[in-house]
Amino acid sequence: MLKTFFRLALRLYPREYRRTFEAEMLDVLNHREAEARAGGGLRLLSFCVHETFGLITGAASGHGIPARSAEPWLWSLEAPAMVVTFYVLGVVAAHEFGLWGFFFPATYVVAIAVIAASAWIAGRTCTLVRPRRRHYAVVVTALLMSMLIIPGSLRLLEDARAAALLKRPDAEVTFALPGIHVTSFRKAIDPPRTTGLTFSQVFSQGPTAMTLVHHRESAAPPYVALGALLAGSVAFVSRRRLSC
């Protein structure tokens, strides 16, 4: 069973690495396992923990991710903080540009992915505070992404999504996520009451159909937190690779 486990753990390594070292590593692991078994249960347990940790950190290193960060972990909190900042900037930009469809539920996934990319780009070059001259372009790109490109691209996506929704035979579609409701109607109706809703907009309206997006204010923090967590994780990993 241990052999199978180690064989599987070796799959975490890059292909080229495995091609070169896999047979040798398995050979060494077999030797050490036999040694540990002869030493008793505690020795075997210690062997398993030691080797598992070593294989995981070795795989990370093989992929170019050092096991230890070059800086205090506290600095990594900059990444999620940056994500939230970008998110807020995106919301402000969406509001300013009248891109009301920004909060269409499906776009949360895209928003998180794009924000993660922004965080990754900016995070890996430590450019928030006193950016290096050669990193100015990266900072500007990241900021533009958060303020213009994100809401703009999301709006395009939402338009396409709404068009697809309305083409369905069961055009009257209602679905909900926590705090968010999207409703499509075959015919235009009166816009809903907006009291208690942060964003409740007629997303698209024609003579025979309309789509409404309701977004409760209380729903924003969990989604932002989810985005921050995901994007922060990405940026955190990238942060571990930097050496500036």
Partner 1 sequence: MRHITTRHTEPVADVPLTEPVMLILLSLAERPRHGYAILKDVEAMSDGRVRFSTGTLYGALRRLLEAAWIERFEEDDAARDRVAYRLTRTGKQRLVTEAARLKHLTRLASLRLALKGA
Beta bridge pairs of residue 202: 212
For residues 106 to 145, the per-residue mask of contacts with partner 1, x marking binding by CB under 8 A and - elsewhere, is --------------------x--xx---------------
Q: Between 69 and 205, whose beta carbon lies closer to partner 1?
A: 69
Instruction: Decide: is 191 part of the binding site for partner 1 (CB under 8 A).
Output: no
Tokens of residue 98, six digits: 């009248």
The site for partner 1, by CB under 8 A, has a size of 32
Instruction: Decide: is 25 part of the binding site for partner 1 (CB under 8 A).
Output: yes
- Kindly indicate which of the ranges 20-28, 103-111, 162-170, 181-189 contains the residues binding partner 1, using the contact rule CB under 8 A: 20-28
- Kindly indicate which of the ranges 50-58, 95-103, 114-122, 192-200 contains the residues binding partner 1, using the contact rule CB under 8 A: 50-58
Q: Exposed, middle or buried by CB within 10 Å (0-12, 13-18, 19+), for 163?
A: exposed
Q: How many other C-beta atoms are found inside a 10 Å radius of the C-beta of residue 161?
A: 19
Instruction: Decide: is 159 part of the binding site for partner 1 (CB under 8 A).
Output: no
Instruction: Decide: is 4 part of the binding site for partner 1 (CB under 8 A).
Output: no
Question: What is the 3-state secondary structure of 105-165?
Answer: CHHHHHHHHHHHHHHHHHHCCCCCCCCCHHHHHHHHHHHHHHHHHHHHHHHHHHHHHHHHH
Strand order in 180-185's β-sheet?
174-177, 180-185, 210-216, 197-205
Q: Between 55 and 213, whose beta carbon lies closer to partner 1?
A: 55
Instruction: Decide: is 167 part of the binding site for partner 1 (CB under 8 A).
Output: no
